[in-house]
Amino acid sequence: MTEQQFSTHARILAVVRRIPRGRVATYGQVAALAGLGGQPRLVGYALHALPSTTTVPWHRVINARGMVSLRADGGGSVTQRLLLEREGIGFDARGRVSLERFRWRPAARPAATKGKERRR
């Protein structure tokens, strides 16, 4: 992995770590929050590279249709759904999560004011 790829993956994983229990984010949403708008596949690559022992809540990232994306091996999809259901996230009859109800909406972070004094 190159230094640039490591930096990109670190930014993505920092966003994924912020997704709270009982909430989901889409690949595109994570990419945008990591400063990589328009590149949701990079999020998939970063999550795919995680070791099986990771504590990063990878299972909270789903596709833009509100569905768990299918894995090449087929097994991860079932695991992801079970982990989400354990956190109280429901699926409809078509296997979709209501993004309106369960999407993570992070609060805007305040602008950095370090070194800037307010004048009164």
Measured CA to CA, the distance from residue 2 to residue 118 in angstroms comes to 42
Q: How far apart are the first and last CA of the chain?
A: 50
- Which alpha helices (H) appear in 2-91, and where do they start and end? 3-18, 27-33, 40-48, 75-86
The partner residues of 26 in beta bridges, in order of sequence, read 62
Q: Indicate the number of domains in the chain.
A: 1
Q: What is the pLDDT of residue 31?
A: 97
**Angle, CA of 89, 11 and 85, to the nearest 5°:** 10
pTM: 0.84
Here the CATH number for the domain that contains residue 78 is: 1.10.10.10
- Which alpha helices (H) appear in 34-120, and where do they start and end? 40-48, 75-86, 99-102
- Contact of 40 with 16, CB cutoff 8 Å: no
Measured CA to CA, the distance from residue 43 to residue 68 in angstroms comes to 14
Q: What is the pLDDT of residue 119?
A: 46
Q: Is residue 8 part of a domain?
A: yes
Give residue 48's domain range.
3-102
Q: Is residue 72 part of a domain?
A: yes
Q: What is the pLDDT of residue 109?
A: 64
Question: Tens place of pLDDT for every residue, the chain, 120 residues?
Answer: 566 666 999 999 999 999 999 999 999 999 999 999 999 999 999 999 999 899 999 999 999 999 999 876 666 788 999 999 999 999 999 999 999 999 999 987 655 444 444 444
